[in-house]
């Protein structure tokens, strides 16, 4: 078995580590932060001392690789399936979205018909467009907005249906995305299987998913985990750390976010066309507004917001006596970039007052606004032309990350699949020792 260094302790790096160590490879996992999980993790709030998610992440029933990883690590039970979704409009009305005991794709027909925020004509037009979407080639990727407008959709139906689903799922506006991954959301999530649409919400802070069970699994499988180990440079055969230490291995898996990849590569590597195209990705931000109130204002564990600034609101209930915690998520939040945190806070609080009358009597104990400017890459039309494979031109040097070719958009599922695909490349290389790495003449950067 091979020795492998995995750089990056996010979901892609964890998935690669679990796959490799589970097959007997000697794995060293390097993470610059003092915690695992990457963007899908938590931080300790300095005011309350609570473990808080940087942004609420959820999965769907179609996310089989992510759920499989959780099962392997023994934390699958910490994900709670939401059999019902509550869609709420600014007038306070709600519609329940739930499946009927009918075969797919008919199981969600009544849920669509019951959406109070759509007219009967809009529902018929949406059903027509979804049928036409299924008939499209899975590889077709024209601009989605133009495609919808040519398939009987109106601006109102785009705003009240397509955007409500896709901005959250893809972290990008309908005006910017391509058809390919919009189609994947609807086909895999809503039309292929009966439970593909089921949203699974962690019942604990995300950081808890990388707790005792993960550490136990790592110890059992001999994984060396080094937190707080910032990497300065990566190349085939090893890495150099920021403190000057050099580590070597048979294979290296680089599993960091797309915006960090090129900075970690020697110039002789990052200027190669295969790697250079990674610099052409466009990031898309996510903003989450965390609020602690003196009372509960939601009647349900979550709500999908229609015609609102936020797309979702989640509640964790009473986290301490007289302290109720909820989070509002604003995906594709570029428009908020010019606003200060106080203005964002004010807009969200005002919106909650319109949505939930109980908010008008609630006392806001604390608010925290968190924005991840490079949360995901933008799934613009033709994005797959930029996405590299996990296999690079350099033998023994492998990429992992949701930005690589996975067949999925930038999601937890895509990250996990990328790690598993990267592990398969390492397996192939380790079983073929006659493959020689491409020779790259570079000097290690000094410490």
Residues 155 and 125: beta-carbon distance below 8 Å: no
Neighbouring C-beta atoms of residue 310, cutoff 10 Å:
23
Phi, psi of 278 (to 5 degrees): -60, -30
The rounded distance, in Å, linking the Cα atoms of 421 and 426 is 9
What local confidence, expressed as pLDDT, does residue 433 receive?
54
Beta bridge partners of 304: 87, 312
Q: Is the pLDDT at 52 greater than 90, yes or no?
A: no
Q: Is the pLDDT at 388 greater than 50, yes or no?
A: yes
Q: Which residues fall within 8 angstroms of residue 263, CB to CB, at 6 or more apart?
A: none
The rounded distance, in Å, linking the Cα atoms of 435 and 104 is 47
Tell me the pLDDT band of 50, cut-offs 50, 70 and 90: confident
The rounded distance, in Å, linking the Cα atoms of 45 and 210 is 18
What local confidence, expressed as pLDDT, does residue 437 receive?
43
- Spell out the domains of the chain, with CATH numbers in brackets: 3-41+205-281+380-430 (3.50.50.60), 100-191 (1.10.3110), 283-377 (3.90.660.10)
Phi, psi of 304 (to 5 degrees): -95, 125
Q: What is the mean pLDDT of residues 154-177?
A: 97
Q: pTM for the complete prediction?
A: 0.94
Q: What is the mean pLDDT of residues 140-160?
A: 98
Q: What is the mean pLDDT of residues 133-137?
A: 96
Strands 224-227 and 26-31, how do they pair?
parallel
Query: Cα–chain-centroid distance for residue 136?
Result: 25
Neighbouring C-beta atoms of residue 102, cutoff 10 Å:
12
Q: Is the pLDDT at 435 greater than 60, yes or no?
A: no
**194-252 residue pLDDT tens:** 999 999 999 998 889 998 999 999 999 999 999 999 999 999 999 999 999 999 999 99
Query: Cα–chain-centroid distance for residue 378?
Result: 12
Q: Is the pLDDT at 441 greater than 70, yes or no?
A: no
Q: What is the mean pLDDT of residues 132-147?
A: 97
Q: What is the mean pLDDT of residues 14-25?
A: 97
Q: Is 241 helix (H, G, I), strand (E, B) or coil?
A: strand
Q: Which residues fall within 8 angstroms of residue 369, CB to CB, at 6 or more apart?
A: 287, 288, 289, 290, 341, 344, 345
Q: Which residues fall within 8 angstroms of residue 112, CB to CB, at 6 or more apart?
A: 118, 123, 126, 127
Tell me the pLDDT band of 107, cut-offs 50, 70 and 90: very high
């Amino acid at each position: 078995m091979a020795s492998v260094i995995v750089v990056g302790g996010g979901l892609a790096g964890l998935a690669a580590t679990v796959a490799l160590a589970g097959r007997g490879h000697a794995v060293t996992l390097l993470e610059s932060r003092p915690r695992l999980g990457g963007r899908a993790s938590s931080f300790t709030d300095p005011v309350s001392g609570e473990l808080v998610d940087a942004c609420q992440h959820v999965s769907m029933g179609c996310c089989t690789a992510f759920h499989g990883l959780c099962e392997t690590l023994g934390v699958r039970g910490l994900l709670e399936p939401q059999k019902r979704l509550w869609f709420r409009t600014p007038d306070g009305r709600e519609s329940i979205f739930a499946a009927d005991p009918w075969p797919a794709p008919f199981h969600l027909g009544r849920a669509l018909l019951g959406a109070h925020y759509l007219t009967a004509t809009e529902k018929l037009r949406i059903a027509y467009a979804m049928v036409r979407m299924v008939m499209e080639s899975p590889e077709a990727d024209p601009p989605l907005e133009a495609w919808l407008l040519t398939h009987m959709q109106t601006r109102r139906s785009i705003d009240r249906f397509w955007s409500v689903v896709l901005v959250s799922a893809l972290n990008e506006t309908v005006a910017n995305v391509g058809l390919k991954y919009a189609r994947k959301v609807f086909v895999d999530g809503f039309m292929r299987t009966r439970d593909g649409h089921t949203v699974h919400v962690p019942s604990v802070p995300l950081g808890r998913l990388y707790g005792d069970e993960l550490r136990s699994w790592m110890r059992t499988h001999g994984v060396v985990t080094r937190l707080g180990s910032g990497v300065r440079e990566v190349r085939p055969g090893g890495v150099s750390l920021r403190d000057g230490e050099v580590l070597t291995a048979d294979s290296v898996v680089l599993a960091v976010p797309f915006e960090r990849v090129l900075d970690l590569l020697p110039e002789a590597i990052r200027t190669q066309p295969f790697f250079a195209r990674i610099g052409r990705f466009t990031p898309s931000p996510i903003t989450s507004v965390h609020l602690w109130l003196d009372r509960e204002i939601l009647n349900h564990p979550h709500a999908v917001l229609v015609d609102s600034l936020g797309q979702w609101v989640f509640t964790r209930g009473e986290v301490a006596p007289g302290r109720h915690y909820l989070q509002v998520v604003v995906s594709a939040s570029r428009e908020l970039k010019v606003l200060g945190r106080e203005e964002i806070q004010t807009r969200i609080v005002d919106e909650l007052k319109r949505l939930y009358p109980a908010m008008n009597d609630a006392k806001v104990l604390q608010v925290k606004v968190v924005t991840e400017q490079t949360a995901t890459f933008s799934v613009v039309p033709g994005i797959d032309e930029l996405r590299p494979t996990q296999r690079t031109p350099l033998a023994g040097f492998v990429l992992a990350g949701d930005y690589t070719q996975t067949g999925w958009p930038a999601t937890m599922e895509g990250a996990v699949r990328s790690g598993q695909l990267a592990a398969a490349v390492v397996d192939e290389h380790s079983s073929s020792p006659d493959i020689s790495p491409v020779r790259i003449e570079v000097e290690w950067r000094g410490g």
